[in-house]
Amino acid sequence: MIRPFLAAMALATIATGSAAQERPAVAPAASPDAQPGDVVVTGVRLSDSAAALKACLARKCPPEQDIAATLAHAENLFVSGDYHAARQTLGGSIGRNKRHASKFPVQVSDLLRANSRIAAHLGDGESYQIGAFDVVSALKAGLSDNDPRVLAARIEVGDSFAKTRQPDMALNIYKDVAQRAHVLHLPVVEGYARLRTAIFLRAMADSDAGTYRRDAIKAIDALITNPDPQLAAFALAGKLLRAQMAAKDGDTAAIDALVAEYRGKNQGTRPVLLYGPRIKSREQSSRQFNGGSTTNQIAADNFDNQWVDVSFWIKPDGRVSDAGVLRQSPKLTGYWVQPIVDSIVGRRYAPLTMDPSQPGLLRVERYTFTSRWTTVVGSHLQQREPTPQIEMIDLSQDTPAKG
């Protein structure tokens, strides 16, 4: 069974459909009659994944089968746009299987991770962060504290602090994981923790250069100059971050140089993003609401059932073509969509090892327009925070088109 993207820590199965009530997957055209750039529909229908889960529960299937069926159906529900039903499905399985974490730590952690990710798309920041901690607890129930999967999950906890605007907590966790991984001779985990530090500091420097730029440069240079050959891949990632900072400062030649370096390394058919313009936010002055109060700002945006799937091709030279909305939620109010498409069009990927006559790789990314829920001071009432945010999850499979 393909591991659902909601639970995977890396790129996972593509998932998008032609109708809200069904969820077949989208893949590059591969039939003899298909034309380059065509999209064909394959995969498991929502009704079939629902039936598979129901049958599993009816025969009282073992926990690992229950979790696999749950994740498959929750993925279908998520992609069809029914986030609440997806989370309810996951919640039922968590109730049945969380107690089995000591025997099935990885499977239970996958279940909890999926629930956490959907919580983020619903704007439930508290559940998202608690879910990240739950993933670590599930893994520790059956694995050693020094297992690389436990340390990698702790990096996800750091990410949750980064996304909920708690930079000091995020940086402390990344630092601690990197140090422990170094002592335990786990270079991949160490490199990833150091990379997350550099990425986060670079992102923070974009909005507060005076506070974070020097630390960002220091973290990036530490990646690039690290002499450990087992961290060479992370040195290249450091060069990417440095080129991104140079591009933001107007030096686009840095990206061209990096493209040339990747071309010389024969990167293959997996997409490696080298540069992506920031998504431009809508100016406050252009918002169509009366006055500028927080209440009116919240009222101007609809955060319920707001999502789009954007498809695009990565051409063999690493540039993007044919970016556009593939599917969208029925009640989309989409002023926020075009800046996403514009940003995708401006991306530069590492050149792909394939015939230049091929259309390249088809990608599909889900974007959800949401805002965090917060409790009103002095009461138990919840309301949306005034600042919108966009959650993204990659729904792509790394399969080149047959042209």
311 by Cβ neighbours in 10 Å (0-12 / 13-18 / 19+) ranks as buried
Highest mean pLDDT among 39-43, 235-239, 257-261, 378-382: 235-239
Higher-confidence residue of 276 and 185: namely 185
Does residue 92 or residue 21 have the better pLDDT?
92
State residue 266's pLDDT score.
Answer: 54
Mean of the pLDDT values across residues 182-200? Answer: 95
- Whole-angstrom CA distances from 244 to 225, 247, 319, 343 are 18, 5, 16, 14
Provide the pLDDT for residue 186: 95
Does residue 181 or residue 249 have the better pLDDT?
181
Looking at per-residue pLDDT, the higher value among 159 and 397 belongs to: 159
Distance in angstroms (rounded) separating the CA atoms of residues 373 and 380: 12
Rounded Cα–Cα distance for residues 140 and 145 (Å):
6
pLDDT of residue 398 exceeding 80, the answer is no
pLDDT tens figures, 118-141: 999 999 989 999 999 999 999 999
Query: What's the confidence (pLDDT) of residue 162?
Result: 93
Confidence (pTM): 0.81
CB atoms within 10 A of CB 320: 20
Pick 311 or 31 by higher pLDDT: 311
* 36 has a pLDDT exceeding 60: no
Average pLDDT for 363-383: 84
Asked if the model's pLDDT at residue 152 lies above 90, the reply is yes
Is pLDDT above 90 for 223?
A: yes
> Looking at the predicted structure, is the pLDDT value of residue 329 above 90?
yes
